[in-house]
Structure 1
Amino acid sequence: MTLKRRIFLIFSFSSLVPFLSIFVISYYTIDSIFDNKIKSGIQSNLRQVELSLGDSLSNLNHVSQQLAYGGTIGKQLDEVLHQPKDATYQLMQSRDQLKKELNVITFTNPSIDLTMYYFRDEGKIDFENFPVRDDFSPDKLPLLAEYYGISYYGPHVSMNQVNDKVVLSALRKVDLPDRDDVYVYMETGFLTTQNILNNDQYGGALSHLILDGKGRIAYSEVPEIFSNGAEFPDFTKGEATGNFRGYHWFKQTSNQDWSVVSVISQANYNKEKDRWLLQILVVFLFFLCVTLLLAWLLWKMVYRPLNLFHSEIKWMSQSRLMADHHVQTKIPEFDYLLGKFWGMKEQLRNLFTEIERKEKNRVDLEVEKLLYQINPHFLMNTLDTVHWLAVMNGQDEIDRLVQSLNKLLYYNLGKLGEVSTIEEEIDALKQYLTLQQVRYDFQFDVRIDVEENVLKLPVPRFILQPLVENSLYHGLSDDGYIQVGVRLDNDIQISIQDNGSGMSEETIRELLNSRTVEQKKVGMGIGMNYVKRMLEARYENKAKLEIKSEVGKGTSILLSLPIAGEGD
């Protein structure tokens, strides 16, 4: 997975997971809260509708009692019914009086609208306060409840000719001595019932049903789903809530055994929750866009420096180490790393330049080395010819000199620093001393004491000759001596002592640190400084070289070398 994808994934995960967790928890919490709120709201509204309808029916019951039982109105109605038909004046007077009483009752009860007496056997009406529809028949009205001599109907369209609103009505039998077919019929005011049913806190989303005591639908505001006269689903189960054909319903049963049902569609029921969910989704999309934008900005912030690193490394891989213009990322951490990278590139460029220069010098030195190797080999061949001439002519001294020189030259042809043995070093030292004795024409008193068990031990080449040279060229007189001792004591102990004129401390420092002091005095010597540097290179700090000298008394050199395998 690329860095870009990882940044987007990690940033999105770290930003969206907490939000999604809060969203899921909030969703179920808010869903529960909304659900309880909607249910409690609908049930509260339903109880209010049920109480209002109950109050209206109780008012119908109360008013109808005044018109149905004994009293002034009852007596007047009885008088009207028993007036002889020929007593026209008295009949009109009784009727007028009864109408006045009826008008007083209806006027004092503004919630009552149409009021009249109904004579069932004759099928006629009388004393109505409003014109009545021709198709009036109590049997056609939706019966809501019936008990104690009173029947409640509705809601239904008013029987008032001038009113087509939905009303509640009641039909009560009038208690007359000699007739049992007289009933009082009255309706609620058309605004009363409408206001009760329109008591909706959900902006018209609620519809209402009214059920009779047997569960039949007496009134329905959604007849396409719950038709009038049909049985309400699951009524016998006595449940207060349920679902039917995509509708939620909530039922409230009155004390008179009739029920009011509030019905709301699934879409309207979830409308508020869906609106809240939509708002949450909008916020989620906003956070997602912000998260992706921040991830993109973070990627750009990282990508530009990485692209610079990639370009620099690509140029380095193509051996392009020339200085470039330094582009700044304006991010301190990346600028610091780029600065270090450019510094490293500058060091590599300088290193390559130094290697090229040294390689050129090495080639020159190889050519020069070949030239120097040709001359010694030619000289050795010439000395070999001189040796045979000296033998043929009986020149023993010359022969001894030439042989020593030839052996020494052969030994000198080996590379400086190569491994030799104590035995080879002692033999080369003897050849060197032979040549020096012939050269200066006097015998050196050189005493060599070497233990047998160290002869085959490996040591660096030219380890003894420079030390003995130092004794020869620093004040050794004719009666002087040089004592060379080699022994084994945990490591190789080499000691060189003389009784010459000695050296000062300053001279010792020059011998150890200068490359030119001895070369000015010695033709074949390679100097004390070589010994010191060779020991440092081969043995690091495990070899020791000590020089002790007193002016006029001599010099003592002690060399301690680790045995091969310990110092390497």
Structure 2
Amino acid sequence: MTRQEWFRRALAQTENLHFSTPMVQNMFASSEGSYSYVVSLSCAVELTYGMRTDQGVLLITLKYGAISELFSNTSLINDGYIYLTGSDGTILYHPKQQLIATGRYLEDSASAAALSDGTHTVETGARPSTLIVRSAGYTGWKVVGVIPQVGLTLDTARDFLFLAMIFLAYFAALVLINALISTRLTRPIQQLENSVRRLERGEGEAIYIGGSYEVQHLGRSVQQMVDQMRKLTLDIVREHEEKQRHELDALQAQINPHFLYNTLDIIVWMIERNKPEEAVRIVTALARLFRISLSKGRNFIPVRDELEHTRNYLTIQQMRYKDKFTYSIDAPEETLELAVIKLVVQPIVENAIYHSMDFMDGEGEIRVTVRVEGSDLFISVSDNGIGMPQDLVDRLLVEHFPISKGSGVGLKNVNERIRLYAGDAYGVIIESELDVGTTITLRLPALPYSKEEAK
């Protein structure tokens, strides 16, 4: 099919309508199994789907018998006749079609096709004839009436003109039908494309489903694809959240036994050294620490409980490190009942102790401060330790930057948890200067704590 003349001409000149010479239509057989002799109209059409545009050809065929019957029922006086020619002189209909095909009759159709609309006198054989020429609109075809001048009357010319006008009206109706069919095909596809574009911009939810059966089927397929993509996106988010929870559980399982082992070792040492009051102080701090850590499975706790958890942790570590550092916690009263993600401050304090205070000799200082600015809650942990170079600060929270065990795993985990729950605008901010110290700030939304929403 794609090798046929009507198909190739339509794609070669996409802006025009193309009318073929009479041909045998060999795509669709009749109920008797025969193929019709037809004249076809073809034009290029574009079907747009999302960002993809496919090009095809719309074909409308007219049975040649309808044209033949139209002309064969019309006669002109004195052996006059009518024939139909293409713009290039190709004869489309002639009452002596078979004689012309076998070369037994000659018609100067090329000269007639070159004539303008109107009446012309030409020499045909032994006597002059009058040619009445009319163009058939978009087709480029011409209706040519050949009347020997003997017996030519005004009524004959009028009859021919009337016939030509009927023929032109016939093809104008054909072009109109083509336009209506094209509109019926393309408008639903354009509406489908517009609904997809609105969806891309986040302005709509549903895909347009309408038009012909094929377009409706296409719309349903697009809607199913969109629904599947949404489901996959939700699955990925849930999987990521579940992964974050597993990583947090694994981190706590990794840290807590080690921390618990060291703390119990200190308690045993104090009891053996006959220091029961200090042992009781550590046991009390440890019990409060783990009670808040559990928090009945809640993901959010009040700032008050988070700071109490941090204070108990600092108390134990201060006794373990034999007062190598001091600490302070400063939080305005109005911040204590705000919600905070559970266990985000203690890992920051732990990093400050292991990477700064461990190198101090009684002059270390850790400060925990809380403030609210606008709609944001800021919790800062500052130390006067050895600090970090700027290139390490810049790389520390990068997703693919390798972090060795115990040198920032907790910090990175805290940043990912905050962004998971609050969004990418929130997270960890690091400021550090070598030999001066480090300040790590947690930025979270300032929201009141609610037990119902804590999970």
Interval of TM-score (by shorter of Structure 1 and Structure 2) = 0.3 to 0.5
The alignment's TM-score, normalised by the length of structure 1, stands at: 0.34
Greater fraction of residues in helix: 1
The structure whose Rg is larger is: 1
The alignment's TM-score, normalised by the length of structure 2, stands at: 0.41
